[in-house]
């Protein structure tokens, strides 16, 4: 059992700390007293809500309550830790680069307060070379005569499934150029996972791996989204294309779901950051740059479908949005595509009626959109807002509650439009909706509800492919 300190009580730090507490002694440090009090109340079973929403996290914290504590006291946080994980925020600046000020501040705090030899690992997503910068800062401000090794251990967590991702990871990537420290980290993880799961490497390789993985996954999504737009143009079904491509074991099924674009705290930030990093090193990453452009194009493409159906002026229109979080089962609205759609509609005069299965997502929408007050309403029941004044339903994320809507409850909508931003409705349901007079729009599978224009395609081929 090792003594571990985690800097940062956010979407990465808290789940990671709860997981490590299965077999290690963990202290989570954060200067935010509200977050710390919140975590400790949950640990002590005095509260059943956290400042972040993550399935199974509260139960895990309470299960391992003897091995974990949160604090704002830096001296307590740095009381003989063997390994320190820096999991603070690295929000992008206006150029898309990761802001390292919180990482550097954590490094300085460690240097001024640590009293024993230890290993410091960056868990935050940071540009390659950051571990060397952290080491430089620590060496500059180090107060006590101790040895501090610095490396990288990037997180690979998906919001909504972070607890399970930590328990059964595909791999654990970590790097340190100090072989003794690398061995110590390996020993630490062997308490939790099998050796085949571990991927030790050099510091720089570890830092690059994080960006490479997220950028590649985002590229798969944008690749399918660009094909989805083509499918709409010619009349193919992107879901069928996805199935045919995904069965190729060289490709795989994951991250091939076409939609109105990816969002969240990772993919938008990480693709922009690594693309900008490549430009700074005169090594442009054109594929990733194209991935970003396609993602921006796809949300505009989806939004324009709504506008095309009703016109530019939406001042007398009402829309329902099911799912405002960037994905199902999260309260995170960072780079959320349904939020972008909501703002576009409100900017054009529409009133939006928002429902999400996660209460925190609705609260966050209120906090993050003060200028739109009066232009939206939030609801805690899925069909509460369905009435004769509603012009269209927009499916914002992939929660299973949105996959099989009660059609009878939707029939009294004034405008029978369903805009499926995540392509979650199945073909049978779409055809049933069509028979009941609904207009269905998606990203790449409109053909399910609309006949293919064969004549248009034949004429196109005659005009363009006969020379």
Which residues are part of the catalytic machinery?
Answer: 266
Of 208, 220, 227, nearest to 262 (Cα)?
A: 220
- Nearest 5°: phi and psi at 255? 65, 35
Nearest-5° Cα angle at 188, 186 to 192: 105
**294 Cβ contact partners less than 8 Å away, ≥ 6 residues apart:** 222, 223, 225, 226
Number of residues that make up the chain:
467
Contacts of 64 (CB under 8 A, 6+ apart): 18, 21, 22
Spatial separation of the C-alpha atoms in residues 370 and 350, rounded to whole Å: 16
Burial (CB count <10 Å: 0-12, 13-18, 19+), residue 142: middle
Strand segments (E) across 237-305: none
How many Cβ atoms sit within 10 Å of the Cβ of residue 277?
19
CA torsion sign, 193 to 199 to 201 to 204? Answer: negative
CB-based contacts of 300, cutoff 8 Å, min separation 6: none
Number of Cβ atoms within 10 Å of the Cβ of 101: 12
Whether the Cβ atoms of residue 81 and residue 112 lie closer than 8 Å to each other: no
């Amino acid at each position: 059992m090792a003594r571990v300190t985690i800097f940062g009580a956010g979407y990465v730090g808290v789940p990671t700390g709860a997981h490590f507490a299965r077999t290690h002694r963990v202290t989570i440090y954060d200067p935010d007293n509200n977050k710390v009090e919140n975590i400790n109340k949950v640990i002590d079973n005095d509260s059943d809500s956290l400042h972040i929403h993550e399935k199974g996290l509260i139960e895990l914290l309470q299960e391992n309550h003897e091995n974990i504590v949160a604090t704002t006291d830096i001296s307590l946080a740095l009381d003989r830790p063997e390994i320190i994980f820096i999991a603070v925020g690295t929000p992008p600046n206006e150029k898309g680069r990761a802001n390292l000020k919180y990482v550097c501040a954590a490094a300085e705090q460690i240097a001024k307060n640590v009293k024993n030899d230890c290993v410091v690992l960056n868990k935050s997503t940071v540009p390659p070379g950051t571990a060397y910068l952290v080491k430089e800062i620590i060496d500059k401000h180090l107060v006590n005569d101790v040895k501090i090794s610095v490396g990288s251990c990037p997180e690979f967590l998906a919001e909504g499934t972070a607890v399970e991702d930590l328990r059964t990871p595909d791999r654990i990537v970590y790097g340190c150029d100090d072989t003794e420290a690398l061995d110590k980290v390996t020993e630490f993880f062997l308490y939790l996972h099998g050796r085949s799961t571990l991927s030790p490497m050099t510091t720089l390789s570890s830092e690059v791996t994080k960006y490479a993985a997220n950028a590649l996954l985002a590229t798969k999504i944008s690749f399918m989204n660009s094909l989805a737009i083509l499918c709409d143009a010619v009349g193919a079904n992107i879901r069928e294309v996805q199935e045919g491509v995904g069965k190729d074991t060289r490709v795989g099924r994951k991250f091939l779901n076409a939609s109105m674009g990816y969002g969240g705290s990772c993919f938008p930030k990480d693709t922009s950051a690594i693309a900008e990093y490549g430009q700074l090193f005169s090594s442009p990453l054109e594929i990733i740059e194209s991935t970003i452009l396609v993602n921006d194009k796809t949300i505009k493409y989806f939004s324009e479908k709504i506008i095309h159906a009703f016109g530019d002026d939406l001042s007398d229109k009402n829309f329902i949005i099911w799912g405002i979080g960037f994905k199902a089962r999260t309260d995170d609205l960072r780079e959320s595509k349904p939020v972008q759609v909501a703002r576009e509609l409100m900017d054009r005069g529409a009133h939006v009626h928002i429902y999400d299965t996660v209460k925190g997502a609705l609260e966050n929408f209120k906090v993050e959109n003060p200028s739109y007050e009066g232009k939206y309403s939030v609801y805690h029941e899925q069909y509460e807002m369905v009435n004769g004044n509603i012009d269209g339903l927009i499916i914002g994320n992939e929660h299973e509650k949105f996959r099989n809507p009660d059609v009878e409850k939707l029939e009294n909508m004034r405008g029978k439009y369903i805009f499926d931003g995540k392509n979650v409705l199945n073909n049978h349901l779409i055809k049933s909706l069509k028979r009941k007079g609904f207009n269905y729009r998606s990203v790449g599978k409109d053909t399910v509800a609309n006949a293919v224009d064969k004549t248009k395609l034949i004429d196109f081929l005659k005009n363009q492919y006969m020379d």
